[in-house]
Structure 1
Amino acid sequence: MPLITAARAYLVDLEVETVRTDALQTFVKQETLFVEIDTDDGLTGTGYSYTIGTGGRATLSMLRDHLIPLLPGLDAASTETVWRTLFLHTKATTVGVITALALAAVDTAIWDLKSRREGLPLWQVAGGHRPEVPLYDTEGGWLQLSVDELVRGAAASRDAGWRGVKVKIGKPDPHEDLERLVAVRSVIGPGMDLMVDANQSLTSADAIRRAHILEPVDLFWIEEPLPAEDVAGHERLAAATPTPIAVGESIYSVGQFREYLQRGAAGIVQVDVARIGGITPWLKVAHLAEAFNVEVCPHFLMELHVSLTAAVPNGRYVEHIPQLRAITTNRIEIRDGVAVAPTAPGLGIEWDPDAVDDRRVA
Structure 2
Amino acid sequence: MARIERIEIAMVDLAPKVERQDAIQSFVTQETPLVTITDSDGAQGTGYSYTIGTGGSSVMRLLADHLCPRIIGRDATEVEAIWHELEFMTHATTIGAITSIALAAIDTALWDLRCRKAGLPLWRMAGGARRSAPCYTTEGGWLHLPVETIVEDALNAKSLGFTGSKVKIGRPVLADDVARLSALREAVGDDYEIMTDANQGFARDTARRRADALAPFGLAWIEEPLPADDIAGHVALAQASATPIAIGESLYSIRHFAEYAARDACGIIQVDAGRIGGITPWLKVAHMAEGFDIPVCPHFLMELHVSLVCAVQNGRYVEYIPQLDEITQTGLTITDGQAIAPETPGLGIDWDWDAINSRAISEFTQTITEAST
TM-score w.r.t. length of structure 2? 0.96
The residue that corresponds to 1:291 in the other structure is 291
- After superposing the two structures, state which structure 1 stretch, 6-15 or 284-293, moved more: 6-15
Q: Which consecutive residues of structure 2, in runs of 5 or more, have no partner in the other structure?
A: 365-373
Query: How many Å separate the matches in 2 of 1:44 and 1:84?
Result: 21
The residue that corresponds to 2:190 in the other structure is 190
The residue that corresponds to 1:179 in the other structure is 179
- After superposing the two structures, state which structure 1 stretch, 82-91 or 260-269, moved more: 82-91
Deviation, 1:73, is 1.2
Residue 107 of structure 1 aligns with an amino acid whose one-letter code is D
Equivalences, count: 362
Deviation, 1:154, is 0.9
Query: How many Å separate the matches in 1 of 2:179 and 2:20?
Result: 20
Q: Which consecutive residues of structure 1, in runs of 5 or more, have no partner in the other structure?
A: none
Query: How many Å separate the matches in 2 of 1:16 and 1:139?
Result: 10
**Which has the bigger relative contact order, CA under 8 A and spacing at least 6?**
2
Is the 1:249–1:271 Cα contact (8 Å) retained in structure 2?
A: yes
The residue that corresponds to 1:156 in the other structure is 156
Query: How many Å separate the matches in 1 of 2:255 and 2:68?
Result: 26
The residue that corresponds to 2:306 in the other structure is 306
Q: Secondary structure at the match of 1:214?
A: helix
The residue that corresponds to 1:264 in the other structure is 264
The residue that corresponds to 1:322 in the other structure is 322
Query: How many Å separate the matches in 1 of 2:304 and 2:227?
Result: 26
Residue 259 of structure 1 aligns with an amino acid whose one-letter code is E
Query: How many Å separate the matches in 2 of 1:87 and 1:10?
Result: 21
Is the 1:296–1:317 Cα contact (8 Å) retained in structure 2?
A: yes
User: Over the residues paired in the alignment, what is the CA RMSD in angstroms?
Assistant: 0.7
The residue that corresponds to 2:247 in the other structure is 247
Identity among equivalent positions (%) equals 55
Q: Secondary structure at the match of 1:309?
A: helix
Is the 1:9–1:68 Cα contact (8 Å) retained in structure 2?
A: no
Deviation, 1:8, is 2.3
Q: Secondary structure at the match of 2:156?
A: helix
Does the alignment pair 1:74 with 2:79?
A: no
Is the 1:171–1:177 Cα contact (8 Å) retained in structure 2?
A: yes
The residue that corresponds to 1:20 in the other structure is 20
Is the 1:14–1:31 Cα contact (8 Å) retained in structure 2?
A: yes
Q: Secondary structure at the match of 2:319?
A: strand
The residue that corresponds to 2:349 in the other structure is 349
Q: Secondary structure at the match of 2:92?
A: helix
Query: How many Å separate the matches in 1 of 2:215 and 2:49?
Result: 36
Deviating beyond 2 angstroms after TM superposition, the runs of 4 or more aligned structure 1 residues are: none
Is the 1:166–1:194 Cα contact (8 Å) retained in structure 2?
A: yes
Query: How many Å separate the matches in 2 of 1:240 and 1:359?
Result: 48
Is the 1:7–1:71 Cα contact (8 Å) retained in structure 2?
A: no
Does the alignment pair 1:170 with 2:184?
A: no
Is the 1:16–1:29 Cα contact (8 Å) retained in structure 2?
A: yes
